[in-house]
Amino acid sequence: MLAKLEHLEEKYENLNTLISDPEVIQDQERWRNYMKAHAELGDVVGVYREYRQVMGEMEGAREILDEEKDSDLREMAEAELDELEVQRVKLEERLRVLLLPTDPNDEKNVIMEIRAGTGGNEAALFAGELLRMYLRYAERQGWRTEMLSANETDLGGVKEAVVLIEGRGAYSRLKFESGVHRVQRVPDTESSGRIHTSAATVAVLAEAEEVDLDLKAEDVRVDIFCSTGPGGQSVNTTQSAVRVTHVPTGIVVSCQDEKSQHKNRDKAMKVLRARILDRLMQEQQQEIASTRKTQVGSGDRSQRIRTYNFPQNRMTDHRLNLTLYRLDEILQGSIEEMVEALITADQAEKLKTMD
């Protein structure tokens, strides 16, 4: 580990020199790439330097114990050594986590798809609540959101919604939300007070840039049709709705929320690219899973990951066996504790494979 850290520090110093080079600064694209690489190494190099300093101080304390006869000084050195040992262990653990292989999509924006599952109107209402939960969480993070498409019900629920979430590290913090979310509660229409169970599915896709996919024009079929609202109501009289089909995979995306055909096409293509990239990622993850299956982040869309129990004000994440009794706050976007727990669990699983 130390040899790798020394190599990273050397690389960091080389980048430090390059980003200050006037010739490099003139080439803005090259300079930005170096700046990005420099920033990515900043954390690990900073912790490594702190670790080295602690190791040096420990060596000094040991020298005092070896050479000093004064009991008071020896006692101070022993106390200092104990404190430094605690710091050393913590810093080593941080370094191990920082050296874990990073997901290349972690810094990407997110396209989140939420769909009502079994449960009729109750499932649609719950899907709408999940959508609002994630939008509020995104707002807390200072991220930007844009609704790409939404199929709402008359009762205020959502049959299907697709939202773009833009912000640094959005995918890294939301990628574990993919899966089946189950709700247990008494519907307003239930006179007997019986608890009903319904579900919604969430898919978190990394937004794919043009450079991520070589999307050939001949592989994409674009169909134009008239937009329709709930119940077949006409939204407008022009043919502005767009359906794009990726012929090799059969993936189809429709968008009709905008009055502009051009805007609908752009939104549909954004979702299409994300779904194709997600398909490729799923295939890679399945290959990895054949040899090693991690507890968190398997990406299985059919996996039931969480239960929201309204009568008990309880949320349980089944992957972590984590239960929180503050469902009301969670649905207001207070999901940070869950997000951090999932990230920590994923890191722990990865660390096991390194041992």
Mean pLDDT of 142-146: 95
Share of the chain above pLDDT 90, in %: 45
Range name among 129-133, 151-155, 256-260 with the lowest pLDDT average: 256-260
**In the predicted structure, residue 291 carries a pLDDT above the cut 50:** no
Residue 51: partners with Cβ closer than 8 Å, 6 or more residues away:
88, 91, 92, 95
348, two tokens: 């722990």
Q: In this structure, are residues 167 and 107 in contact, taking their beta carbons and an 8 Å threshold?
A: no
Given this model, what pLDDT does residue 228 score? Answer: 64
Sign of torsion over alpha carbons 163, 164, 169, 175:
positive
Q: Alpha-carbon distance 253 to 218, whole Å?
A: 16
Q: Alpha-carbon distance 328 to 145, whole Å?
A: 22
Mean pLDDT of 3-14: 90
Residue 144: partners with Cβ closer than 8 Å, 6 or more residues away:
138, 165, 166, 167
**In the predicted structure, residue 232 carries a pLDDT above the cut 50:** no
Mean pLDDT of 90-104: 84
In this structure, what is the dihedral angle of CA atoms 105, 108, 109, 112, given to the nearest 10 degrees?
Answer: 0
Cα separation values, 234 from 147, 157, 226, 230, 240, Å? 20, 20, 8, 9, 12
**Summary mean pLDDT of the chain:** 85
The residue that leads in pLDDT, 155 or 31, is 31
Domains and CATH numbers, the chain: 2-98 (1.20.58), 110-351 (3.30.70.1660)
Q: Alpha-carbon distance 149 to 140, whole Å?
A: 22
Q: How many helices (H) and strands (E) does the chain have?
A: 9, 11
Q: In this structure, are residues 59 and 84 in contact, taking their beta carbons and an 8 Å threshold?
A: no
> What is the enclosing helix (H) or strand (E) of 221?
strand 220-225
Given this model, what pLDDT does residue 4 score? Answer: 85
φ/ψ of 71, rounded to 5, equals -65, -35
Given this model, what pLDDT does residue 285 score? Answer: 67
Q: Alpha-carbon distance 30 to 27, whole Å?
A: 5
Given this model, what pLDDT does residue 207 score? Answer: 87
Q: Alpha-carbon distance 22 to 253, whole Å?
A: 47
Q: Alpha-carbon distance 298 to 176, whole Å?
A: 9
Residue 237 pLDDT class (50, 70, 90 cuts): low
Residue 233 pLDDT class (50, 70, 90 cuts): very low
Q: Give residue-wise pLDDT tens across range 69-86.
A: 888 888 999 999 999 999
Residue 258 pLDDT class (50, 70, 90 cuts): confident
Q: Give residue-wise pLDDT tens across range 296-322.
A: 544 455 679 999 999 999 999 999 999
Q: Is the pTM of this model over 0.75?
A: no
φ/ψ of 321, rounded to 5, equals 55, 40
Mean pLDDT of 204-214: 75
**In the predicted structure, residue 282 carries a pLDDT above the cut 90:** no
